[in-house]
Amino acid sequence: MTEPTQLADLSAQRLTAGYAAGEFSPVDVTRETLERADEARARTNAFTLIDGDEALAEAKASEERWRSGQPAGPVDGVPTTVKDLFLTRGRPTLRGSLTVRPEDAAWDEDAPAVARMRESGAVFLGKTTTPEFGWKGVTDSPRHGVTGNPYDPGRTSGGSSGGSAAAVALGAGPLSLGTDGGGSVRIPASFCGIFALKATHGRVPLYPASPFGTLSHAGPMTRDAADAALLMDVISGPDWRDWSQLGPVAGSFRAALDGPVAGLRVAYSPALGWDVPVAPDVAAAVRSAVETLASLGAYVEEIDPGIENPVEAFHTLWFSGAARVAEHLDAADRELLDPGLREICAQGERYSALDYLAAVDVRMALGQAMGRFHSAYDLLVTPTEPITAFEAGAEVPAGSGHTRWTGWTPFTYPFNMTQQPAATVPCGLDGDGLPIGVQLIGARHADALVLRAAHALYTSGVADIPRPGGS
């Protein structure tokens, strides 16, 4: 695959190599990337904020560090975006909600991952769109409207990190930070043709704690697995504000990319053994990706993990979290909420503590079942989504019969309940030219292994899909 000719299309690792060699500067890259950000906002409504002046000031400071041979870290000078659920110093975090008033907070603190990136010299272009409080698998909100798909703006970008996925796909920064409580980095990455990793829970510290509890993870959204590994080396640094963070990583995620795929035990499950109709184009593309893993020397077996769909337990946990989000709102503010969010808040308020604990029991049993499964298999491979992107502005596809977003994304939320690392890699386009993703799931703490297998798919050409128009 030939290298892109425009600076905004280069990977983060290629950018930093170019800075070190004096081929181009962070200022040049940031100027071009800001143009892409403006285009992405116009095409897809991917941004809640673009701060060009601040980004150029950060780029100029980075340029001086590179010129003196003292870069601040692995992503110094790399244009980056941040989902508007992360606290970002000097910029409001509005969470897609009219109930959040910018004047009510000082906005003087960075979330842990943002702080680690700032320390490493990243250039922050702006903040990307999310559904209100990240509650659903598509991206539209009362505050910022609908975010479209870079391949077809009339289709959804997915969610809840839809703005980040659209921005990365359109060249508005090679790196973005997203959150994932039920698929929220993997869904939009699959729909928008990029890479995303939901890291093992606690691997990327989170603060403030999510109202959705330990379902919520953080992770990188990038154009390839190598850039995700680079970003993981930065954002997995410790932060005392997250009491559930994991201990230090042994070694580098980037270094782990070069390990072999040959000999890995791969379980391929076309639909997790559930009665889920998978679109023929999706099924074919995912099977082809699995065959590539086999050609690289992995031992592949078509087998289901033997788990039941935990959707009702997930709803109990998720809707209870939503109720917690809205607990402090008065009647007038509740009327400002997304109607779907208001509905699940009301449902969450009806659950008892015993209902919640029963859902926790389901979650623990699911985690044990997957732990047992991974004692025999290194990776579980599924479609990321059984479908491709549908109409923008709708929670569910027209005529699907689903009432909530969980109905059409059954392969993502189970692995939030188990806290396992899970990634999505683009593996083709459907007949309408829309991206398809393959999901790679590892045992808890096997983030490096998931990244290694994903990187192998990139180097083998599986992920070489046409970029969306305008990039």
pTM over 0.95: yes
Task: For residue 401, count other CB atoms closer than 10 A to its CB.
Answer: 8
C-beta separation of 168 from 74 below 8 A:
no
Task: For residue 12, count other CB atoms closer than 10 A to its CB.
Answer: 26
Domains for the chain: give ranges and CATH numbers: 7-459 (3.90.1300.10)
Mean of per-residue pLDDT scores for the chain: 97
**Residue 445 predicted with pLDDT over 50:** yes
Query: For the CA atoms of the chain, what is the radius of gyration?
Result: 21
Contacts of 23 (CB under 8 A, 6+ apart): none
Question: Distance between CA 179 and CA 206 in Å, rounded?
Answer: 9
Contacts of 10 (CB under 8 A, 6+ apart): 3, 4, 18, 29, 174
The string of pLDDT tens digits covering residues 63-106 is 999 999 999 999 999 999 999 999 999 999 999 999 999 998 99
Active site residues: 83, 160, 184
Which 3 state secondary structure label does DSSP give 53? helix
Give 156's strand partners.
148
Question: Distance between CA 79 and CA 40 in Å, rounded?
Answer: 14
C-beta separation of 77 from 28 below 8 A:
no
Q: Is the peptide bond before 160 cis (omega within 30 degrees of 0)?
A: yes
Which of the 8 DSSP states describes residue 416?
H
The string of pLDDT tens digits covering residues 127-144 is 999 999 999 999 999 999
Task: For residue 52, count other CB atoms closer than 10 A to its CB.
Answer: 15
Q: How confident is the model at residue 321 (pLDDT cuts 50, 70, 90)?
A: very high
The string of pLDDT tens digits covering residues 158-192 is 999 999 999 999 999 999 999 999 999 999 999 99
**Residue 470 predicted with pLDDT over 60:** no
Tell me what the mean pLDDT of segment 397-426 comes to.
Answer: 98
DSSP annotation string for 83-151 = ETTS-BTTB---TT-TT--GGG-------HHHHHHHHTT-EEEEEE--SGGG-SSS-EETTTEEPEETT
> Dihedrals φ, ψ of 292, to 5°?
-65, -45
Burial of 279 (0-12, 13-18, 19+ CB in 10 A): middle
> Dihedrals φ, ψ of 80, to 5°?
-135, 150
Q: From residue 139, give the alpha-carbon distance in Å to each of 45, 83, 106, 329, 405.
A: 10, 11, 26, 22, 11
